[in-house]
Amino acid sequence: MSRRHAAAAVMAAMAWLGAGAAQAATRVVVVAGMGGEPQYEERFGKWSEQVAQASATATGDPGQVQRLAGKNARREHIQAALKKAAEELKAGDQLVLVLIGHGSYDGSEYRFNIEGPDITGSELAAMLDRIPAQQLVVNATSSSGALAERLANDRRVVITATRSGGERDATRFAGFWAEALTSEAADTDKDGNVTAREAFDYTVRRVADAFKADNAILTERARLEGREPARFVVSRLGPAALFAGDPQLAALRAEQDQIIARLAEMKALKANLPEDEYYARIEPVLVELARVGDRIDARFAALGVKVEEGGDAM
């Protein structure tokens, strides 16, 4: 392998790292709050089902996705789900929490409207702070913007349907977020992975388009707080979704992720090594990565899936 080809391969591997290396331990909790009216009950239930189903492709394990809706979305059930996450997830893992429904804000405290006593923003913050994993919180409720800055920190990305607690109208955000998780239009780089960044951008566009089509004033302005939202893969499309349902592909993906992680560590040594030595060290790892990629392509072929040149199906 020439030095030029090795350098190109390193750059490609680093791109893969951002899209797929952290999926092995991801927990998703989707909560559909109280609708109050039949139309909202139906919408919240439908949207939460869509998000939960799409999330199974992102985690690679449907058992890591928990959906709480209706009478199962009471405060004690939410507390139990987040307590379990605090006990089982590690610092290198990921938690995705999606809240769908109505919220309220009285000027000092946000409340998520659920069956029985509401759960407050302060209570959510305390529970999330006990979880060591990297976190993505998607609060698609009205008044959700009251929590945007309050919840955001170095290991947490927070997405809210509204800019502030004062935007109190029922939101459309959750419906279009659910749509983003199954839409190829949301996958802007066409790698089969829909990241939180991509889903957010798609949802914001669709919300704005919906208000414009209705000749209505935009009453919800979404926010995104926190660093590197693209590190959270919220859905996988096309052949990439097969990684969640095929044990052999899942094992190969885990092997691939380990190699890419080694490449990331080696890249950090580049500044301290002579150029020839750096590429001599990294070349065998790149060859190993290419061989795993060939085995993934072969598995796709065995499943009858056509992989585009360059590995775009991944």
Q: What are phi and psi of 31, to 5 degrees?
A: -120, 125
- Show pLDDT as tens, one digit a residue, over the chain (314 residues): 444 444 444 444 444 444 444 444 799 999 999 999 999 999 999 999 999 999 988 887 888 999 999 899 999 999 999 999 999 999 989 999 999 999 999 999 999 999 999 999 999 999 999 999 999 999 999 999 999 988 989 899 999 999 999 999 999 999 999 999 999 999 999 888 899 999 999 999 999 999 999 999 999 999 999 999 998 999 988 777 776 667 888 788 778 878 877 887 787 788 888 888 888 888 898 899 889 888 988 888 888 776 655 444 44
Q: Report the chain's C-alpha Rg in angstroms.
A: 21
CA distances from residue 22 to 26, 76, 234, 271 in whole angstroms, order as listed: 8, 30, 12, 26
